[in-house]
């Protein structure tokens, strides 16, 4: 039996049995593979790192989208940078009054996700409220004159084409694309094995925004423990949105979820001490 062996973090590997290879090719930009695994269903990897799986993507994408959307409460325009599998777009489409722009650098990821993993995007790519731009997200935010209420940076890890999506320059350009009171969310890796990346994002975002923190969720196919979503906004009240208000907004939005609840939302921001210490460590 073939094994998919992810070595994203030195010394820590994730091995998944490859029950059937559905697609494997080097796009112009990334090594893209889609294969079947008995536990996770269909799995997409880019440059040897798991991006999304049919079985656990709901956790990752629900927490990526509903935490900022329900904390903000009045978002009408959302921008996704990356997100080529369409999972974040699918969650955003649950909001009746939303317009979504998604900027991904690799059209092949979008097309193959739609073909081989249609449950992840769930028709979002064909929704009239969805607009796809194929471009480098770093260039796009520098040049666009538009603004959004929520910006979701659903990027690969800071290697290859995704590296530019972790720079202070990129975060600053994203800030210029935020409406007043808007919020930016980043994919910030697994703190236990990517502590340096967490700290770097914290410092860079901290130089640009008044309220910067992280919230956590455990994604079974992301090895090393809970993963962190970066949170950055100038509206210091957003993160304090109370449980009753979150519950009312969740109800009013009429969305269905399998992981997200208002209680999980609030609890996700409770950072364990070792992560708090990592953020305040000198040097
Ligand atoms: N869940 C995944 C993770 O946590 O690593 C991310 C999923 S999504 C597939 C990542 C997307 O980022 C890919 O579709 C890739 O093409 C896109 N991407 C990488 N670098 C980019 C860039 N500079 N601009 C826009 N999209 C980029």
Q: Give the residue, by CA position, lying nearest to ligand 1 atom 16.
A: 106
Tell me, what CATH number does 215's domain have? Answer: 3.40.50.150
The answer on 69 and 39 residing in a single domain is: no
What are the phi and psi torsion angles at 226 (to 5°)? Answer: -65, 150
The answer on 63 and 8 residing in a single domain is: no
Residue 154 annotated to the active site: yes
What are the residues whose beta carbons fall under 8 Å from the beta carbon of 204, sequence distance 6 or more?
Answer: 166, 167, 168, 171
How far is ligand 1, taken at its centre, from the CA of residue 221, in Å? 16
> In total, how many domains does the chain have?
2
Task: Please identify, by atom number, the ligand 1 atom nearest to the C-alpha of residue 189.
Answer: 4
**Sole residue written with tokens 């708090």:** 276
Distance, in Å, from the CA atom of 153 to the CA atom of 102, rounded to the nearest integer, reads 10
The answer on 39 and 71 residing in a single domain is: no
Q: How confident is the model at residue 283 (pLDDT cuts 50, 70, 90)?
A: low
Confidence (pTM): 0.97
What angle separates helix 273-280 from helix 195-206, to the nearest 10 degrees?
A: 60
The answer on 132 and 67 residing in a single domain is: yes
How far is ligand 1, taken at its centre, from the CA of residue 126, in Å? 20
pLDDT tens per residue across span 137-156: 999 999 999 999 999 999 99
Tell me, what CATH number does 45's domain have? Answer: 2.30.140.10
The answer on 101 and 47 residing in a single domain is: no
The answer on 87 and 26 residing in a single domain is: no
The answer on 216 and 99 residing in a single domain is: yes
The answer on 260 and 201 residing in a single domain is: yes
The answer on 69 and 193 residing in a single domain is: yes
Residue 178 pLDDT more than 70? Answer: yes
The answer on 36 and 136 residing in a single domain is: no
Enclosing domain of residue 130: 57-280
pLDDT tens per residue across span 47-100: 999 999 999 999 999 999 999 999 999 999 999 999 999 999 999 999 999 999
Report the pLDDT value the prediction gives residue 1, as an integer from 0 to 100. 80
The finding on whether 134 has its CB within 6 A of some atom of ligand 1 is no
Residue 282: Cβ within 10 Å count: 3
Residue 281 pLDDT more than 90? Answer: no
Residue 10 pLDDT more than 80? Answer: no
Q: What is the DSSP letter of 278?
A: H
CB 134 within 8 A of CB 107: yes
Q: Output the CA–CA distances (angstroms, integers) from residue 235 to 16, 150, 279, in the order listed.
A: 42, 12, 21
The finding on whether 85 has its CB within 6 A of some atom of ligand 1 is yes
Share of the chain above pLDDT 70, in %: 100
Residue 140: Cβ within 10 Å count: 21
What mean pLDDT, rounded, does the chain reach?
96
Left (φ > 0), alpha (ψ -120 to 50) or beta: where does 52 sit? beta
The answer on 195 and 86 residing in a single domain is: yes
The answer on 160 and 103 residing in a single domain is: yes
């Amino acid at each position: 039996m073939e094994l998919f062996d992810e070595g994203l973090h030195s010394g820590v590997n994730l091995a998944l049995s490859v029950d059937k290879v559905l697609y494997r090719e080097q796009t112009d930009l990334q090594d893209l593979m889609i294969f079947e695994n008995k536990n996770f269903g269909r799995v997409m990897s880019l440059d040897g790192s798991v991006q999304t799986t049919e079985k656990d993507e709901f956790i990752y994408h629900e927490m990526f989208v509903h935490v900022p959307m329900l904390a903000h409460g009045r978002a009408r325009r959302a921008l996704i940078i990356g997100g080529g599998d369409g999972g974040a777009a699918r969650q955003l489409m649950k909001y009746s009054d939303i317009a979504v722009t998604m900027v991904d650098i690799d059209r092949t990821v979008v097309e193959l996700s739609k073909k081989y993993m249609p449950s992840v995007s769930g028709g979002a790519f064909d929704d009239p409220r969805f607009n796809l731009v194929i471009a480098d997200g770093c260039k796009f935010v520098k040049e666009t004159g538009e603004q959004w209420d929520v910006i979701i940076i659903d990027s690969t890890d800071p290697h290859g084409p995704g590296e530019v999506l972790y720079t202070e320059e990129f975060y600053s350009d994203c800030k210029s694309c935020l409406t007043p009171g808007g919020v930016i969310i980043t994919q910030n890796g697994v703190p236990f094995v990517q502590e340096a990346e967490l700290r770097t994002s914290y410092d860079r975002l901290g130089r640009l925004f008044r309220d910067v923190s992280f919230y956590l969720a455990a994604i079974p196919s992301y090895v090393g423990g809970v993963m962190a979503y970066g949170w950055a906004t100038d509206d210091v009240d957003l993160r304090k949105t109370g449980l009753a208000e979150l519950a009312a907004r969740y109800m009013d939005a009429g969305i269905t979820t399998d992981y997200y609840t208002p209680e999980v939302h609030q609890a996700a921001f409770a950072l364990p001490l070792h992560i708090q210490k990592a953020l305040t460590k000198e040097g």
